[in-house]
Homo-oligomer: A and B are copies of this chain.
Amino acid sequence: MHVRIVGCGLIGTSIGLALSRSGFRVSLSDPSPTSQAIARDMGAGEIDVTDAPEVVVVAAPPDVVVSVVRAELDRWPGAVVTDVASMKQQVLDELRSAGADLSRYVGSHPMAGRERSGAVAARADLFEGRTWVICPTQDDDPGAVAAVRTVAEATGAATTTMDAAEHDHAVAAVSHVPQIAASLVAVRLRELSDEAIGLSGQGIRDVTRIAESDPMLWTQILAGNAAAVAPVLDALLDDLGRVRQAVTDLAAGNEDGARQVLARVIADGQLGHARIPGKHGSAPTTYATLVVVVPDRPGELGRLFNDIGAAGVNMEDLRLEHGQGAPVGLAEVSVLPSVAERLRDELTAKGWSVHE
């Protein structure tokens, strides 16, 4: 199958690398000759190809996706066209009102990305094991949907089907509003003294990690999904307003019901957090966690994981914590509960300091 990729940024180039590795013929196009050449040199596909593709993947910036999809539908009358933008309803609406041939357009969205951008950050395995959402419409030719699914799965992604509005509301809550919250919490760090910022621990690091993301890309994503993001922000603002009122009341010595507001928010947050699926998209699993003290020098983690492997145990998750100024780190090793006790015993027998 010949797949044409329009847009040689992180996502387009990664798709090209993955499809090329899977034996697809890939042609590349980007308005920037440099990006296009880098993607080709990385092995993502050929450039300057003029024969017709069977599938076109539009991986352009969100604010030009609609015009690029329209141009590709016009240029290749026999091709199926998909795009990979983070919002799906607006793209569909604009294509429909422009009179585009929707039987050959199937919107999609691979749930993958990195803090870095551009072809140079691309990886052939970017989609391996990720979810790639496909948003068919009633106008779609069934063969068109199947073709997009074939391309998505060839990158190693697992496909799932949703309608565009459902997709947009989901990503508003699990991706777009969390991005705003992370950025806003990080904004508050700008004015702190060096001493104050020095008290940062793992909590603030986790909450603000995605605040590193690209402002240009995120402005386009938030603008493109504004209709779905707005109601989630409304609810968040209401909740935050109630928390602020409760805290302000407490600061003024007025305690009536204020503590209950705070307790409810933290407790409801526990319930919401517990809904996030565990590894491999399965239902949430409660793993057992062993905490192992690891000297902070080369080879020690290797020795630890070697010992875990020798015990025949698979780590389900791992978190490393480094102390400030300390010569040790802590490895929080998550394993299936059924093997935790045996692993603790085996590691202890090999001299590791293990806590549960």
Against B, the Cβ 8 Å flags (1 = close, 0 = not) of A218-245 are 1100110011011011111101110110
The answer to whether A128 and B247 touch across the interface, beta carbons within 8 angstroms, is no
A196 and B173 contacting across the interface, CB-CB below 8 Å: yes
**B123–A291 touching, CB < 8 Å:** yes
Binary contact readout A313-356 vs B (1 if CB under 8 angstroms, 0 otherwise): 11111101011111110100000000000000000000001010
Q: A318 — nearest CB in chain B belongs to which residue?
A: B320
Q: Could you tell me which residues of chain A, from 30 to 60, have a CB within 8 Å of some CB in chain B?
A: none
Give the number of copies in the complex.
Answer: 2
**Would you call the interface of chain A mostly helix, strand, loop, or mixed?**
helix
> How many angstroms between the C-alpha atoms of A269 and B188 in the bound complex?
8
Contact of A325 among B234, B265, B280 (CB under 8 A): B280
Known A-B contacts: A185-B236, A203-B209, A280-B326. Give 5 more (CB < 8 A): A181-B185, A200-B277, A215-B263, A299-B310, A301-B308
Residues of B near A306 (CB, < 8 A) are: 299, 302-303, 305-306
Look across to chain B and name the residue whose beta carbon is closest to the beta carbon of A223.
B250
Max chain B C-beta neighbours (<10 A), residue from A223, A244, A267, A272: A272
Which A273-315 residues have a C-beta within 8 angstroms of B? 273, 275-277, 279-281, 291, 293, 296-315
**Are A270 and B326 interface neighbours, CB within 8 A?**
no
| 9 pairs, A vs B, C-beta closer than 8 Å | A174-B204, A179-B266, A182-B207, A183-B265, A190-B272, A192-B275, A200-B276, A298-B313, A305-B306
Measured between beta carbons, the chain B residues less than 8 angstroms from A275 are 189-190, 192, 197
Report how far A301 CA is from B317 CA in the complex, Å.
11
Q: Which residue of B166, B181, B317 is within 8 Å of A322 (Cβ)?
A: B317
Identify the stretch in A72-80, A98-106, A155-163 within 8 Å (CB) of chain B at 4 or more residues: A155-163
Contact call B318/A309, Cβ cutoff below 8 A: no
A88 within 8 A of B: no
A338 to B327, CA, bound (A): 21
